[in-house]
Amino acid sequence: MSETPAIPSSSHYVIEATSETFAREVIERSSTVPVVVDFWAPWCGPCRTLSPILERLAGEYGGKFLLAKVNSDQNPDVAGQFGVRSIPAVFGVWDGAVADAFVGVQPESVIRTWINRLLPTEAESLAQVARRLESSDPRAAEAKYGQALALQIDLPQAQIGLARIALAEGQIEDAAARLAALERRGFLEPEAERLKAALMLQTQAQGAGSVDSARALLAAHPDDLKLKLALAEALAAAGQYADALALCLGLVERDRKGVGEQARQVMVAIFQLLPPGDELVTEYQRQLSLVL
């Protein structure tokens, strides 16, 4: 009689995450493997029913996902970030974002189905490999994205990745075409929105020229608002966001319905490029709201 294969110990695939370790243990790890986050507390009876099921499945799946347990009493800030109102609450985190969630005890069959939906497809796995190759070997990344699209023609991660490579290499038309195709769905992912903003700034900067040439032109005609806008666009394309925002805000104040409207659009594009909560974003959004 053949023996049933032993299920791997769950200990390798279960971690305790805290406020101090959450970014490293959950967010960073989720860039390579889905992480199931289980919010629980010692006093919670349903948690004592659900947790063993999740831990057993973590061992059974053998590393296809990680289980991160978070004591919501000891880490209320993390629970607050996830909007946890009752426990047990379970979130699937993939590539830094919440992909799915459920609350309360569920039958094991339902949890299995939920986990299977969370696991990346072959195409998604290829796209993830490609993402890690982009900076070191963009040609290999393009090939991986192509393989992913051959398996799933509408995979947004692959189209976004190819647009990102095209934009980094100055292939403006190619990047624009890919983003336009994504936008025809009626929405854009946050990364695609960021690329759209970067594309707008690069397109505008082509007409503005380099920062040095834009400065020289403005020095010769210091009262020309369009030349001030051109310098702001060149600065934004060069990543000098603070200087670009300061110039744009001044233009909005001076000529709100003319050049100022174009300057406002540049500011919005910069806001989309910078991380949420960035000090520049917070400060200039506040100042822009006062001007408008």
Rounded Cα distance, 129 and 140, in Å: 10
| Closest alpha carbon to 179 in 193, 170, 220, 246 | 193
Tokens 């300057």 correspond to what residue? 263
Distance CA(168)–CA(138), nearest Å, equals: 10
**Residue 177: closest CA among 155, 209, 202, 199:** 199
Q: What is the Cα–Cα distance from 72 to 46, expressed in whole angstroms?
A: 14
Instruction: Look at strands 35-40 and 89-94 and give their pairing.
Output: antiparallel
Q: Does the active-site annotation cover 248?
A: no
Q: Which residue type is seen at 231?
A: L
Report whether 287 contacts 281 (CB < 8 A). no
Q: Which residues pair with 98 in a beta bridge?
A: 93
Q: Answer for the pair 156, 192: CB distance below 8 angstroms, yes or no.
A: yes
* Per annotation, catalytic residue among 15, 27, 41, 44: 44
**Separation between Cα atoms, residue 264 and residue 173, nearest integer Å:** 24
Report which secondary-structure segment, H or E, holds 93: strand 89-94
Q: How far apart are CA 292 and CA 275, in angstroms?
A: 23
Q: Alpha-carbon distance 244 to 263, whole Å?
A: 9
Report the catalytic residues: 44, 47
